[in-house]
């Protein structure tokens, strides 16, 4: 797999764009790096997530739905990602993450705005997702981006507690 470059100038313009098939190795590497740093996922949850976002599965996903993986780029470097899928007229946000050296620079917000644009294009009226109850960073990012908590689901996936979230969006249709 290709090495991730973290030495990107902060002066380079941030771009939010679709993942190309050729990006799959770099995106999978960044996802694994972010996942391994997550302290609030247990070993079983991490193992399950590792299997869902391999380079092969990422390539297959974007062939089926070109908007399902959005990337944050500076120059040619991938510094963030957002994985989503169409879900019965809605958009499910599976994951978003930012390279550790590029956090606190609005990249997560830019990715969430890109996801909202995806929802508009798809004619969806809602983006929804979950996060661990202990994931303070994601909770704050979701609140800052006008997601509303729906409920807490205790003892859920892999025996962990989650919050379900939604953001209503105006569809373009």
CATH number at residue 118: 3.40.630.30
Specify if 31 maps to a domain.
yes
pLDDT, one tens digit per residue, over 70-124 is: 999 998 899 999 999 999 999 999 999 999 999 989 999 999 999 999 999 999 9
Specify if 8 maps to a domain.
no
Supply the pLDDT for residue 170: 78
Res 68 pLDDT > 90: yes
CB atoms within 10 A of CB 92: 17
Specify if 2 maps to a domain.
no
Q: Tell me the pLDDT band of 157, cut-offs 50, 70 and 90.
A: confident
Write down the mean pLDDT value for the chain: 91
Tokens of 15: 């771009």
Of 146, 136, 143, 137, residue with least CA distance to 116: 146
Task: Using DSSP bridges, classify how beta strands 14-18 and 162-168 pair: parallel, antiparallel or unpaired.
Answer: unpaired
Do 81 and 97 form a contact (C-beta atoms < 8 A)?
A: yes
Specify if 7 maps to a domain.
no
Specify if 96 maps to a domain.
yes
N- to C-terminal Cα distance for the chain?
41
Range of the domain at 23: 14-168
* Interatomic CA distance for residues 68 and 64, integer angstroms: 9
Specify if 3 maps to a domain.
no
Specify if 9 maps to a domain.
no
Confidence (pTM): 0.90
Supply the pLDDT for residue 5: 35
Say how many domains are in the chain.
1
Do 19 and 27 form a contact (C-beta atoms < 8 A)?
A: yes
Q: Tell me the pLDDT band of 21, cut-offs 50, 70 and 90.
A: very high
């Amino acid at each position: 797999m290709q090495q991730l470059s973290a030495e990107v100038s902060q002066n380079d313009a941030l771009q939010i764009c679709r993942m190309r098939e050729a990006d799959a190795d770099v995106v999978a590497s960044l996802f694994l790096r972010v996942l391994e740093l997550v302290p609030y996922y247990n070993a079983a949850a991490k193992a399950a997530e590792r299997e869902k976002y391999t380079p092969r599965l990422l390539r297959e996903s974007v062939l089926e739905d070109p908007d399902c993986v959005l990337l944050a780029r500076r120059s040619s470097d991938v510094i963030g990602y957002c994985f989503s899928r169409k879900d019965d007229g809605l958009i499910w946000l599976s994951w978003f993450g930012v390279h550790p050296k590029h956090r606190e620079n609005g990249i997560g917000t830019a990715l969430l705005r890109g996801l909202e644009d995806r929802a508009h294009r798809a004619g969806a009226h809602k983006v929804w997702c979950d996060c661990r109850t202990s994931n303070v960073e994601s909770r704050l990012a979701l609140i800052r981006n006008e997601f509303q908590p729906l409920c807490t689901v205790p003892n859920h996936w892999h025996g962990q507690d989650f919050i379900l979230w939604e953001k209503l969006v105006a569809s373009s249709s």
